[in-house]
């Protein structure tokens, strides 16, 4: 008993000692990890400070280099250089002084008293302290001497120094801000919402919030910073303990960086380690408890020797079963002497799909299982060749569930009461393998995504250059055809289309930002599907022709042409997909867009299927699985150049999803790609064909070599109660038209496909004019560019052209126009003559363009340079002197929203009724809605055109009548 008592005392002392050592270890680990985390935080803030200092140095070097542009310039050239410096490099304003005369980037004359900061100590290059300037943001002014004796002042917003970082770390639990040392004002903060200093103005307020309100403590902190020392102190924010870290951005700098890091964030990693130590501690206690239990059990067995063998056997079985169940293992014992599996414990059916008795009684099944891990393993077991612990892994199908699983086998040698045995541990590691595979795939995806984003800027250069080349090329060609109005008009149209495409590239970037932030909205409006497709064709056709590709647009069973929905989003989808098809289809390839109207169960909706097919290089199945992710592009060995931004398919996929549609892509390498888009729109045709009776009883002859075109167009014309005759060849058509003429049953209109299998449309027209006369109106239809044959067609007597596919509205308006022998404009802009308009625009170039466009229509234009000036001009005008106000949105002093609200609040009769139309580069639907919410009547998206500005003004004026 004394011996047993000593054993218990020794175990208790050991247990207490281990607990004490573990506690001491935990305390030391926490302190060391906290210290390491603080050092890491210091390094993070040092990196941020170094980055801000680099941006500051880069600005100074750049402006110094740029100042050489101001030698020997006149006032206008100086103003242009200043404007370029501000517009293209992200500065607020730039001012140039020479001989005490100054001018800023807006063309305004400036005196020394007007400078945002006048207290520069010398004439060297230097930065001013932080100031809150005229633009309502914190800024610094860079003074840069010019070689000719002048001086350049550049106003730089502090927000420019947050490029590439949002001043956060530790997964946005730690935040930083930039403070001006002179004024103690906070000039740059984190972009993350709900951060304490987003609502604070200066460093004193921040220190007070963190708990350092005593004057002496604050002075010590400020003195340390001014001595270029880093300061780390512990405080509390809203009951949470934090570290406050402050350091100067760089030596002899007027700014310092302040970071706030919650202690909980720093201790998060140490808590994980401590948690693991706690688990180990618990297991140690359990182990000690088990040892104590065994010791007590041994003492108890000594007292009752007669039950020792039976109880020992029961305990061994219980331990094996409990261990197997608790650890999700299958455990079995193999006797080396008898060469038999003598015992199998729990979990054999769950892990292996076999019962314990089956494994024990059937030796071949177990040996076959061993060989599935390693060929010949069963023979090594029988020959006792394994003398050390071995591990094997295998893949198999569970015989009961038929699920794929991964198993791990561990073989150990043991000696039980002098008997040599093998003990086998078989574990199901399927979850671990799948987790490892998913982690590898995630790492690979992240690497590919980062590489794609790294290539983004270089790819954007090529994308933007494509429409720019078209604009420059067409401009140069147009200059050689100034005496040919028709060709000049065609070239200008293509320049406009390429400009729209260039604008769409910029919108792609903005769209991606909207999509990722969840702010993408749909703008529902009435639109004509045929016009939308025509615009798309005009943009893509030039690109296809440059590669000698065949671009074809077909329609199948399309009845509805007037729809309600977001036309711009539909254009964006089709242009992106067709643009990809052109890029990745070799020279001389084929590209096809098929538009198919699908019958809908919902009578209020019209369903369309847009099928884009090409015989290009195609895509691999691996890339199809990743398709739609931003910046993703496939590096294809069959295509020499990597074009594109990598945004197109991502934007298309998201827009289709937002519009409630579906997208399906099928592709094979070197065999082409097929993209199927299905979208629904509201029907908008109820009032557009109310005068279709005017086409009743017309006789139309249609010639086309495509039977599907004859069927679809014939159905549309019959709906207008038009008698239709058709032919598939030119000669057959001529004979039928000639027979009708001889029988004095002439056709009212003849519609001819340009390209026919026997004779082309030009020759057929020539035959009709020679044999029948010039009275019958003849219309050419084609899916190709008419500019190639336009002059020849008009020369032989063609009256009009209609692009394929032939939509309902396009046919209707063309036939009505031909019957009335007039081509009416969609709107009459003569009503603008003698109108007086107040134009509000702060950009001189935009002001000049808008003023010139309006004056071309006989409009009297009065100009204002900002919102405040506009309010004063309107306030001093006579009642109803102005018919419309065109209001820019982004302006100094008072923006367009504020100016509109100020006008609406004026106490005069015309303040509420005068139409105010926004002019803005912000063209998203939520931007348009904001304009309407503040009291505006319409919206014109920049860049403006003559058509957009006149048509919008007329529509707004007509609504007000």
Which of 63-72, 240-249, 855-864 is the most confident on average? 855-864
pLDDT at 641 (0 to 100) = 46
Q: 737: exposed, middle or buried (C-beta count within 10 Å: 0-12, 13-18, 19+)? A: buried
Residue 381: how many CA atoms within 13 Å on its side-chain side? Answer: 29
Q: What is the spatial distance between Cα 912 and Cα 958, in angstroms, rounded to a whole number?
A: 16
Confidence class of residue 896 from pLDDT cuts 50, 70 and 90?
very high
The residue that leads in pLDDT, 217 or 98, is 98
The pLDDT of 152-177, averaged and rounded, is: 78
**What's the whole-number average pLDDT of the chain?**
78
Q: What is the spatial distance between Cα 242 and Cα 249, in angstroms, rounded to a whole number?
A: 21
Confidence class of residue 286 from pLDDT cuts 50, 70 and 90?
confident
pLDDT at 861 (0 to 100) = 92
Q: What is the spatial distance between Cα 353 and Cα 346, in angstroms, rounded to a whole number?
A: 12
> Considering the chain, what percentage of its residues have pLDDT values greater than 70?
80
**Pseudo-torsion of CA 780, 784, 790, 795, nearest 10°?**
-40
* Domain 162-268 classification at class level: alpha beta
User: Residue 594: which of 542, 558, 546, 547 has the closest Cα?
Assistant: 558
DSSP state of 483: T
Is the dihedral angle over the CA atoms 86, 87, 88, 92 positive or is it negative?
A: positive
pLDDT at 639 (0 to 100) = 45
DSSP 601-619: SSTTEEEEEEEEEE-S---
Q: What CATH number has the domain spanning 521-682? A: 3.30.565.10
Whether 692-820 and 162-268 are alike in CATH topology: the answer is no
Residue 307: how many CA atoms within 13 Å on its side-chain side? Answer: 10
Instruction: Give the end-to-end CA distance of the chain in Å, rounded to a whole number.
Output: 113
Per-domain boundaries in the chain: 22-157, 162-268, 307-428, 521-682, 692-820, 829-960
pLDDT over 90 (residue 840): yes
> Domain 22-157 belongs to what architecture?
2-Layer Sandwich (3.30)
Q: What is the spatial distance between Cα 957 and Cα 884, in angstroms, rounded to a whole number?
A: 8
Strands 836-840 and 884-888: parallel
pLDDT at 820 (0 to 100) = 66
pLDDT at 839 (0 to 100) = 93
Taking the CB of residue 179, how many other CB atoms lie within 10 A of it? 25
User: Residue 868: which of 906, 898, 837 has the closest Cα?
Assistant: 898
User: Residue 565: which of 683, 672, 414, 732 has the closest Cα?
Assistant: 683
Q: What is the pLDDT of residues 755-786, one digit of tens each?
A: 888 888 888 888 888 888 777 888 888 766 66
Q: Which two tokens stand for residue 750?
A: 């003849």
Bridge partners (DSSP) of residue 340 are 335
pLDDT over 60 (residue 815): yes
Q: What is the pLDDT of residues 44-82, one digit of tens each?
A: 777 888 888 888 888 888 888 888 888 778 888 888 888
Which of 72-81, 360-369, 857-866, 947-956 is the most confident on average? 857-866
Could you write out the three-class secondary structure of 1-43? CHHHHHHHHHHHHHHHHHHHHHHHHHHHHHHHHHHHHHHHHHH
Q: Which two tokens stand for residue 778?
A: 């003849």
Q: What is the pLDDT of residues 325-352, one digit of tens each?
A: 666 778 888 888 888 888 777 777 778 8
Q: Which two tokens stand for residue 940?
A: 């014109």
Confidence class of residue 823 from pLDDT cuts 50, 70 and 90?
very low
Taking the CB of residue 525, how many other CB atoms lie within 10 A of it? 13
pLDDT over 90 (residue 862): yes
Q: What CATH number has the domain spanning 307-428? A: 3.30.450.20
Q: Options 3.40.1190.20, 3.40.50.10790, 3.40.50.2300, 3.40.50.740; which CATH number does 829-960 get? A: 3.40.50.2300
Bridge partners (DSSP) of residue 668 are 672
The pLDDT of 277-295, averaged and rounded, is: 73
Q: Which two tokens stand for residue 882?
A: 């102005």
Phi, psi dihedral angles at 56 (to 5 degrees): -65, -45
The residue that leads in pLDDT, 165 or 638, is 165
User: Residue 530: which of 719, 753, 800, 805 has the closest Cα?
Assistant: 805
pLDDT at 822 (0 to 100) = 40
User: Residue 553: which of 570, 578, 571, 521 has the closest Cα?
Assistant: 578
Q: What is the spatial distance between Cα 141 and Cα 157, in angstroms, rounded to a whole number?
A: 9
Q: What is the spatial distance between Cα 470 and Cα 491, in angstroms, rounded to a whole number?
A: 10
Q: Which two tokens stand for residue 426?
A: 């078989």
pLDDT over 60 (residue 285): yes
Q: Is the pTM of this model over 0.75?
A: no
Q: 846: exposed, middle or buried (C-beta count within 10 Å: 0-12, 13-18, 19+)? A: middle
Tell which phi-psi region holds residue 776, choosing left (phi > 0), alpha (psi between -120 and 50) or beta.
beta
The pLDDT of 382-405, averaged and rounded, is: 86
The pLDDT of 253-259, averaged and rounded, is: 80
The residue that leads in pLDDT, 280 or 567, is 567
Q: What is the spatial distance between Cα 341 and Cα 335, in angstroms, rounded to a whole number?
A: 6
pLDDT at 457 (0 to 100) = 53
Which of 133-137, 459-463, 825-829, 901-905 is the most confident on average? 901-905
- Assign a CATH topology to domain 692-820: Rossmann fold (3.40.50)
pLDDT over 70 (residue 915): yes
Q: What is the pLDDT of residues 11-24, one digit of tens each?
A: 667 767 777 776 66
The pLDDT of 655-664, averaged and rounded, is: 87
Q: How many residues does the structure list for the chain? A: 961
The pLDDT of 825-852, averaged and rounded, is: 78
940-945, long-range: CB within 8 Å, 24+ apart, which pairs?
Answer: 940/886, 942/846, 943/499, 943/503, 944/846, 944/849, 944/850, 944/853, 944/919, 945/496, 945/853
């Amino acid at each position: 008993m004394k011996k047993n008592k000593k054993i218990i005392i020794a175990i208790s002392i050991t247990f207490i000692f281990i607990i004490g050592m573990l506690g001491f270890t935990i305390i030391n680990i926490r302190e060391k990890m906290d210290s390491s985390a603080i050092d890491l935080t210091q390094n993070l803030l040092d990196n941020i400070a170094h980055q801000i200092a680099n941006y500051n140095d880069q600005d100074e070097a750049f402006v110094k280099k740029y100042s050489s542009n101001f030698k020997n310039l006149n006032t206008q050239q100086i103003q242009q250089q200043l404007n370029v410096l501000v517009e293209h490099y992200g500065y607020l304003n730039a001012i140039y002084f020479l001989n005490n005369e100054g001018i800023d980037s807006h063309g305004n004359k400036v005196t020394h008293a007007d400078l945002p900061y006048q207290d520069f100590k010398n004439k060297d290059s230097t930065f001013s302290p932080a100031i809150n300037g005229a633009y309502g943001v914190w800024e610094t002014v860079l003074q840069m001497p010019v070689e000719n004796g002048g001086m350049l002042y550049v106003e730089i917003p502090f927000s420019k120094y947050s490029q590439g970082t949002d001043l956060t770390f530790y997964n946005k639990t730690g935040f930083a801000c930039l403070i001006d040392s002179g004024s103690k004002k906070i000039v740059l903060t984190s972009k993350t919402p709900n951060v304490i200093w987003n609502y604070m103005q200066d460093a004193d307020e921040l220190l007070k919030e963190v708990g350092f309100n005593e004057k002496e403590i604050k002075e010590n902190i400020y003195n340390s910073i001014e001595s270029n020392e880093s300061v780390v102190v512990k405080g509390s924010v809203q009951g949470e303990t934090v570290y406050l870290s402050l350091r100067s951005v760089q030596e002899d700098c007027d700014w310092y960086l302040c970071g706030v890091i919650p202690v909980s964030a720093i201790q998060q990693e140490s808590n994980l380690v401590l948690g693991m130590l706690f688990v180990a501690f618990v297991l140690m206690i359990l182990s000690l408890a088990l040892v104590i239990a065994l010791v007590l059990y041994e003492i108890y067995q000594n007292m009752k020797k007669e039950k020792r063998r039976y109880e020992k056997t029961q305990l061994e079985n219980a331990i094996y079963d409990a261990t197997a169940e608790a650890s999700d293992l299958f455990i079995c014992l193999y006797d080396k002497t008898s060469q038999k599996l003598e015992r199998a414990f729990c979990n054999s059916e769950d892990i292996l799909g076999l019962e314990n008795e089956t494994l024990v009684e059937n030796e071949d099944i177990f040996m076959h299982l061993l060989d599935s891990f390693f060929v010949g393993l069963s023979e090594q077991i029988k020959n006792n060749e394994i003398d050390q612990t071995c591990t094997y892994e295998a893949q198999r199908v569970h015989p009961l569930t038929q699920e794929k699983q991964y198993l791990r086998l561990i073989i150990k040698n043991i000696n039980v009461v002098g008997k040599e045995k093998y003990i086998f541990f078989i574990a199901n590691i399927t979850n671990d393998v799948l987790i490892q595979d998913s982690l590898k795939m995630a790492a690979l995806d992240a690497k590919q995504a980062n590489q794609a984003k790294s290539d983004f800027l270089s790819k954007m250069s090529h994308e933007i250059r494509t429409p720019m080349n078209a604009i420059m090329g067409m401009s140069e060609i147009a200059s050689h055809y100034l005496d040919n109005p028709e060709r000049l008009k065609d070239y200008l149209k293509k320049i406009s289309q390429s400009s729209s495409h260039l604008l769409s590239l910029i919108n792609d970037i903005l769209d991606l930002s909207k999509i990722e932030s969840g702010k993408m909205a749909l703008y529902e409006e009435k639109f004509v599907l045929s016009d939308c497709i025509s615009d798309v064709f005009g943009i893509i056709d030039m690109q296809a022709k440059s590669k000698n590709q065949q671009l074809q647009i077909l329609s199948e069973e399309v009845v509805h042409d007037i729809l309600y929905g977001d036309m711009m989003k539909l254009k964006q989808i089709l242009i992106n997909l067709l643009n990809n098809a052109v890029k990745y289809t070799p020279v001389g390839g084929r590209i096809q867009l098929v538009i198919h109207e699908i019958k809908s169960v919902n009578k209020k909706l019209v369903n369309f299927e847009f099928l884009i097919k090409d015989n290009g290089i195609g895509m691999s199945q691996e890339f199809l699985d990743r398709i739609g992710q931003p910046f993703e592009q496939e590096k294809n060995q069959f295509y020499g150049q990597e074009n594109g931004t990598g945004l197109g398919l991502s934007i298309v996929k998201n827009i289709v999803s937002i519009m409630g549609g579906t997208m399906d892509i099928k592709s094979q390498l070197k065999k082409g790609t097929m993209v199927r888009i299905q979208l629904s729109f509201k029907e908008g045709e109820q009032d557009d064909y109310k005068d279709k009776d005017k086409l009743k009883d017309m006789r139309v002859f249609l010639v086309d070599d495509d039977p599907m075109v004859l069927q679809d167009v014939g159905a549309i014309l019959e709906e207008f109660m038009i008698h239709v005759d058709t032919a598939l060849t030119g000669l057959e058509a001529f004979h039928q038209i000639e027979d009708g003429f001889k029988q004095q049953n002439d056709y009212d209109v003849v519609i001819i496909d340009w390209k026919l299998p026997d004779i082309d449309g030009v020759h057929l027209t020539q035959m009709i004019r020679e044999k029948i006369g010039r009275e019958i109106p003849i219309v050419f239809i084609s899916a190709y560019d008419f500019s190639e044959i336009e002059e020849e067609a008009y020369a032989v007597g063609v009256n009009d052209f209609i692009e394929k596919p032939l939509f309902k509205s396009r046919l209707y308006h063309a036939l009505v126009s031909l019957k009335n022998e007039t081509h009416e404009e969609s709107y009459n802009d003569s009503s603008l003559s003698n109108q007086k308009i107040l134009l509000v625009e702060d950009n001189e170039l935009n002001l000049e363009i808008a003023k010139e466009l309006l004056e071309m229509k006989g409009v009297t234009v009065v100009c204002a340079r900002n919102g405040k000036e506009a309010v004063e001009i309107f306030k001093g005008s006579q009642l109803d002197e102005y018919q419309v106000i065109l209001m820019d949105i982004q302006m100094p002093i008072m923006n367009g929203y504020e100016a509109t609200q100020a006008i609406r609040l004026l106490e005069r009769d015309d303040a509420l009724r005068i139409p105010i139309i926004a002019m803005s580069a912000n063209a998203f639907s939520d931007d348009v809605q904001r304009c309407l919410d503040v009291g505006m009547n319409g919206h014109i998206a920049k860049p403006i055109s003559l058509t957009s500005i006149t048509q919008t003004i007329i529509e707004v004026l007509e609504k007000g009548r």
